[in-house]
């Protein structure tokens, strides 16, 4: 059975054999305005009956909400089978929000610095379970949600079809109405899916979690390196950049681990000739194994990056919501 909110309007029209205009009106009501199906305007009763018969309208159950001191809000949801996932609402400029979405229950990759990786993988999310996170948070928000990032629980490219289906539902003018350019899909480096994503020509922003510039150091932090080596990953990034322009690379900074002069020099060699935007962000590790860089470490690393990556934008991302375990790398299906 289809789930109504997991479809973009063209997919819904094809699946049900209805006119595109009717599909858009249905999604406009249920996803665009968050109203019950029967409140869709100018849709024949026969079409509504068909949608009701063929489409599930199951919902997520909100278990808890946690408000961090800096305005980040974490939502813990329970799925129909009892599994739990989180989404994080991120405040932007006191006028709107972006939303960090989960794509899996847990994660199979086991990155050393990530709480979600320590959970292991339970299952993939269905497209509707991803879109429903957006709808539930939007209903709880006075400000508009104008962006979405697939950076919550899970490796999005291990749930490729569902993530893309959900992303198109979010950007559908009759659905979530989020600009495609404000939807980011992050991957730890699943090379075959990066190549597929590039070949298919999707317009969502691709973000790649790099975190180290040598195979040895990256393998110690990210087991995915053993399956998809750094050289192959950089080739895939180079190909994407050639077709789509500058690629965003995420870099989790760990004091004493990956923020030295030698790390900046290795990044310069690795990324030579590739237009990238490097987004360093502090590690968040409740176990205490890793720590963020000190102010002096960050200044030295920033200056070294300016020397070794000349002309490439380096933008330090703010890691918010730490006090409620809502920050990057801290999602573990719990509330404090």
Using CA atoms, how far residue 91 sits from 51, 88, 146, in Å, is 35, 10, 11
Find, among 125, 55, 119, the residue nearest to 87 by Cα. 125
DSSP lists the bridge partners of residue 145 as: 97
Catalytic residues: 86, 328
Which residues, 6 or more positions from 216, have their beta carbon under 8 angstroms from its beta carbon? none
Instruction: Evaluate whether 24 touches 174 at the Cβ level (below 8 Å).
Output: yes
Find, among 98, 99, 86, 125, the residue nearest to 325 by Cα. 86
Query: How many of the other CB atoms lie within 10 Å of CB of 165?
Result: 20
Tokens describing residue 260: 């030295």
Using CA atoms, how far residue 107 sits from 60, 66, 87, 192, 324, in Å, is 20, 22, 15, 18, 20
3-state secondary structure of 228: coil
Tokens describing residue 11: 């997919």
Instruction: Evaluate whether 69 touches 59 at the Cβ level (below 8 Å).
Output: no
Q: Please spell the DSSP secondary structure of 40-78, one letter per residue.
A: -TT--HHHHHHHHHHEE----EEEEEEE-TTS-EEEEEE
Tokens describing residue 217: 């150091």
Sign of the CA dihedral running 76, 317, 92, 163? negative
DSSP conformational letter for 205: E
DSSP lists the bridge partners of residue 2 as: 55
Tokens describing residue 218: 């990256």
């Amino acid at each position: 059975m289809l789930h109504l909110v997991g479809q973009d309007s063209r997919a819904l029209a094809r699946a049900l054999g209805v006119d595109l205009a009717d599909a858009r009106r249905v999604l406009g009501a249920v996803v665009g305005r968050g109203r019950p199906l029967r409140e869709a305007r100018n849709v024949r009763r026969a079409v509504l009956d068909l949608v009701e018969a063929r489409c599930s309208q199951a919902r997520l159950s909100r278990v808890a909400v946690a408000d961090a001191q800096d305005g980040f809000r974490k939502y813990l949801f329970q799925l129909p089978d009892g599994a739990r996932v989180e989404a994080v609402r991120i405040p932007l400029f006191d006028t709107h929000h972006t939303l960090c979405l989960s794509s899996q229950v847990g994660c199979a990759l086991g990155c050393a610095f990530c709480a979600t990786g320590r959970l292991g993988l339970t299952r993939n999310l269905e497209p509707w379970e991803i879109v429903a996170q957006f709808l539930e948070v939007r209903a709880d928000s006075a400000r508009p949600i104008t962006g979405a990032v697939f950076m919550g629980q899970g490796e999005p490219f291990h749930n490729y079809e569902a993530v893309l289906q959900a992303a198109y539902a979010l950007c559908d003018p009759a659905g979530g109405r989020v600009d495609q350019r404000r939807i980011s899909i992050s991957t730890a480096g699943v090379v075959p899916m990066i190549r597929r994503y590039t070949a298919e020509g999707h317009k969502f922003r691709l973000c790649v979690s790099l975190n180290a510039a040598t195979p040895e150091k990256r393998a110690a932090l990210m087991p995915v390196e053993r399956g998809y080596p750094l050289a192959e990953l950089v080739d895939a990034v180079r190909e994407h950049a050639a077709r789509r322009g500058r690629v965003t690379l995420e870099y989790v900074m760990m004091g004493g681990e990956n923020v030295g002069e030698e790390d900046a020099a290795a990044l310069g060699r690795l990324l030579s000739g590739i237009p990238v935007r490097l987004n360093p962000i502090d590690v968040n590790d409740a176990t205490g194994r890793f720590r963020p860089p000190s102010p002096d470490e960050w200044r030295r690393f920033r200056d070294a990056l300016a020397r070794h990556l000349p002309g490439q934008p380096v933008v330090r991302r703010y890691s918010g919501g730490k006090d409620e375990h809502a920050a990057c790398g801290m999602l573990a299906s719990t509330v404090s």
